[in-house]
Amino acid sequence: MRFMFLLVLCLLPLACSPKVNINFGDGGGRLVEHTVIDDRSRASEKIALIDVRGMLIDARRPGLLGYGPNPVDQFVKALDKARNDGSVRGVVVRITSPGGTVTASDIMHDELRRFREETGKPVIASIGEVGASGGYYLALAADEIYVQPTSITGSIGVIFPTINASKGLGMIGIESRAVKSGPNKDLANPLEPAREAHYALLQTQVDELYARFRGLVIARRPGLKPADIDAATDGRVVTGNAAVGLGLADAEGGVREAYAAAKTSAGIGPARLVKYVDEDARAATTPYSVAPAQTQINLVQVQLGEAGLGGRFGMEASGFYYLWLPEAW
């Protein structure tokens, strides 16, 4: 009854955005490969396709029947599989993500950069429907970035979402008072009146993390003109077509074009594009196959588990994010 009541509330007009992501199962088992493009029957050389979908967070995502896999862990497992397979000559990372936490994005970026540097295998990022903020941060670790002309990317920046309920609580006679060891122990406490000194401290950290992101863009995207840097890194999202024009991406194209670029960079001819999926998932038959661990229903995002219906925006209640918020609802 409690679930049905909460679900009805979320379906009320204007209460939530029209998207549901319901996760089934864990999806964190051994990874197996399935051929999704074969240039020539039984070609021995391979390009590995690694999917990165949804929120980037270093934690197991809640699902309907338990918890799903940790996206960081799954990504590293896929990279290790490609690293240890001598017949894999390059990697295409297919990114469909609005971003996530600063640290998860940074870990995944570092793991991809380390893979590229240690193995010498070329890495091509292929941005799908959305590759924004932390998703774009991850793409910066690749040798080249391909985008669909209609992709949404950019959103270069940092956000620390806050909410303050102290006025509303006061109207119904509820008063909060934290007992703390120092004046800044309860930074952005949502139950007490907002204090500008607290937000000034948080802004300093946001500025530091933003400088890191912006510096990485400048270092990794030499084609970005100095006159365009401020506009390209002010947090706005752009289409794939505009990203190529700005120098944030290298070329327009999808998975097939990224696959061709990986083969060219690896110096190989006919090959197979192999997709890594969980061993319990159904076989991947095309580069766009999605494992059944996540079923999307176009109504309203619902996340179940120990956290009930999840926190604000369907993510952790507080923290620093490389995230495009409209896609996180």
Which residues participate in catalysis according to the annotation? 133, 185
The tokens for 73 are 């862990």
C-alpha closest to that of 272 among 282, 253, 283, 287? 287
| Cα distance between residue 88 and residue 260, in whole Å | 14
Phi (first) and psi of residue 110, to 5 degrees? -65, -40
Classify strands 272-278 and 46-53 as parallel, antiparallel or unpaired: parallel
Which value, to the nearest 10 degrees, does the dihedral of the CA atoms of residues 204, 210, 211, 216 take? 160
Answer whether 55's CB lies under 8 Å from 100's CB: yes
Find tokens 């506009």 and name the residue.
Answer: 231
Measuring CA to CA, how many Å separate 281 from each of 56, 77, 80, 158? 21, 16, 19, 35
* Residue recorded with tokens 């896999």: 69
Bridge partners (DSSP) of residue 129 are none
